[in-house]
Amino acid sequence: MDSASFIRKTLVVLGGLLIWAAYFGFVYVFNALACARGFHRLHLLGFSVVPLTILFCAAIATTGVLALMFIALRAPDHVEDSRSSSTDFLRYLAVAVALLSLLAIGWIGLPAIIVPPCG
């Protein structure tokens, strides 16, 4: 296995968790800054800016994780007969990690809908 293939497979498998971690960090830093700087009172189209921003970023993170899942499921095999069990394992692992990441993204975004900012 060459190093480019190893890096690509690693990013596909762990990419969902990396996207979730970035989203998790953004949500908490953004909410803290909104409370500290007072822009949690701003409204856009009748909704607070903080939940709208968090939900917009959740949509972006979800799209990224779904793209990684699509890449994992549609990864081309050079020769169908030479598929190894490790390739299948990495494919299923990438899909499982992506599904777990989607659940975590939803779980982090849920309080943005339920709890008012700085509340």
Instruction: Give the mean pLDDT per block of 10 residues along the chain (119 residues).
Output: 76 93 94 87 83 94 95 67 72 93 94 82
CA-based nearest residue to 5, from 107, 97, 102, 76: 76
Could you tell me if 53 and 88 are in contact, meaning their C-beta atoms sit under 8 angstroms apart? no
Per-residue confidence (pLDDT) for residue 83, from 0 to 100? 60
Identity (one letter) of the amino acid at 98?
A
Q: Is 76 left (phi over 0), alpha (psi -120 to 50) or beta?
A: beta
Assigned token pair, 59: 């949509």
Q: What's the CA gap between 99 and 83, in Å, rounded?
A: 24
pLDDT score for 73:
86
Burial class (CB in 10 A: 0-12, 13-18, 19+), 2: exposed
Handedness of CA 38, 39, 40, 42 (dihedral sign): positive
